[in-house]
Amino acid sequence: MQSNTQPRPKILTETQGISRDTGSLMSKKIWLPKALYDLLPYFYLVSGIAAFFATLYINDWFWVLPHYVLFSAACLHLGIVVYRRRHRKKADA
């Protein structure tokens, strides 16, 4: 004997649907405290500058030197992009 009852689909809120999404990690939304969100571009800029100055103190050519330079360039670029996007949206609104 077969039953025609099916489990009812669960109705998820938007937040639950996003958190259960099996998409990539980059497409998931995260929530940060306001203070941390506001300081994020400055953190990227300070990290990039610190990594760049760390390369100045390396005397010889080590395998880690290109990694410091790439990390500093990526952090500086990311900090500038985030800062400009946030301030461009405020100016347009």
Length of the chain measured in residues: 93
Can you give the residue ranges of every domain in the chain?
Answer: 32-92
Please determine, for residue 23, whether its predicted confidence score (pLDDT) is greater than 90: no
Closest CA to 52 of 30, 34, 75: 75
Q: Are 18 and 29 in contact (CB under 8 A)?
A: yes
43-88 pLDDT, tens digit per residue, is: 999 999 999 999 988 878 788 889 999 999 999 999 999 999 988 8
Residue with more model confidence, 20 or 61: 61
Q: For the whole prediction, is pTM greater than 0.85?
A: no
**Rounded distance between C-alpha atoms, residue 21 and residue 14, angstroms:** 11
